[in-house]
């Protein structure tokens, strides 16, 4: 019998360490015998990579809703071409950023209407939701030092913006405690991974 597929997302402000954790989780799950697909937004592959280039490196003015629609366009392509088929084939999709990034960054960060963004997220994904979401929570000051000095367009948005993004994630977790689990990411990589594994094991064993 084929395994049941799962869709697991990794979220948090820039510099929270989620990419490192998602890669550790991929390896951990593969060692347990699961078939895992690691992917990310924006720009997993194909057309999405062109959208990613625009989103992160275009250096003119970008209207907030244009930015939102580009992330959503990438998501629609990603869900249809990669995430849905992989989950249907019984794989575990480990995805670095997804719908909650739009709510945290474009909604809480940029101030766009959160109800509308939720509606648009739903349209883009065909209402497919992650089975489990990790939010790696780190103080904005620590996160900024991790990002370093070579910043892309989003990372350059300023400390006040990133504080709002962080609060946005905590708010999302409060609203959906079953799906969204917060991990304290101020700790070492090893400790954060221990905490992540506990949540993951509990999810897989339920």
In the 8-state DSSP scheme, what is residue 42?
S
SS3 per residue for 48-111: HHHHHHHHHHCCCCCCHHHHHHHHHHHHHHHHHHHHHHHHHCCCEEEEECCHHHHHHHHHHHCC
- Binds ligand TYD (CB under 6 A): choice among 5, 17, 42, 107: 42
Q: Does 56 bind ligand TYD (CB under 6 A)?
A: yes
Q: Does 9 bind ligand TYD (CB under 6 A)?
A: no
Long-range Cβ contacts of 30-35 (<8 Å, 24+ apart): 34/3, 34/91, 34/92, 35/3, 35/89, 35/90, 35/91, 35/92
Do the beta carbons of residue 21 and residue 196 sit within 8 Å? yes
Shortest distance (Å) from residue 91 CB to ligand TYD: 21
- Binds ligand TYD (CB under 6 A): choice among 8, 9, 36, 41: 41
Per CB under 6 A, the segment of 20-28, 31-39, 99-107, 185-193 that binds ligand TYD is 99-107
Per CB under 6 A, the segment of 25-33, 39-47, 124-132, 188-196 that binds ligand TYD is 39-47
- Binds ligand TYD (CB under 6 A): choice among 54, 154, 170, 204: 154
Do the beta carbons of residue 55 and residue 100 sit within 8 Å? no
Per CB under 6 A, the segment of 37-45, 84-92, 124-132, 189-197 that binds ligand TYD is 37-45
Alpha-carbon gap, residue 76 to 73, rounded angstroms:
5
Q: Does 101 bind ligand TYD (CB under 6 A)?
A: yes
Q: Angle at Cα 191 formed by Cα 108 and Cα 140, nearest 5°? A: 30
Q: Does 105 bind ligand TYD (CB under 6 A)?
A: yes
Per CB under 6 A, the segment of 40-48, 57-65, 85-93, 193-201 that binds ligand TYD is 40-48
- Binds ligand TYD (CB under 6 A): choice among 38, 71, 108, 161: 71
Instruction: Give the residues lining the site for ligand TYD (CB under 6 A).
Output: 14, 19, 40-42, 56, 71, 96-97, 101-102, 105-106, 152, 154-155
């Amino acid at each position: 019998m084929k395994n049941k597929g799962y869709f697991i997302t990794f979220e948090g402000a820039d510099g929270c360490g989620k990419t490192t954790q998602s890669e550790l989780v991929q390896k951990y799950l593969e060692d347990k015998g699961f078939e895992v697909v690691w992917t990310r937004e924006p720009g997993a592959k194909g057309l999405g990579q062109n959208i990613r280039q625009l989103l992160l490196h275009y250096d003119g003015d970008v209207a907030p809703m244009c930015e939102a629609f580009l992330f959503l366009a990438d998501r629609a392509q990603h869900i249809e071409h990669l995430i849905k088929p992989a989950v249907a084939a019984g794989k575990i999709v480990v995805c670095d950023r997804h719908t909650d990034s739009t709510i945290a960054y474009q909604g809480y960060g940029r101030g766009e209407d959160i109800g509308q963004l939720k509606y648009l997220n739903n349209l883009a994904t065909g209402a497919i939701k992650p089975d489990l979401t990790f939010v790696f929570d780190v103080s904005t000051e620590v996160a900024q030092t991790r990002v370093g000095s070579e910043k892309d367009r989003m990372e350059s948005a300023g400390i006040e913006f990133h504080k709002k993004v962080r609060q946005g994630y905590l708010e999302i977790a409060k609203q959906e405690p079953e799906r969204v689990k917060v991990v304290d990411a101020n700790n070492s990589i090893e400790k954060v991974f221990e905490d992540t594994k506990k949540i993951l094991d509990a999810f897989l064993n339920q």
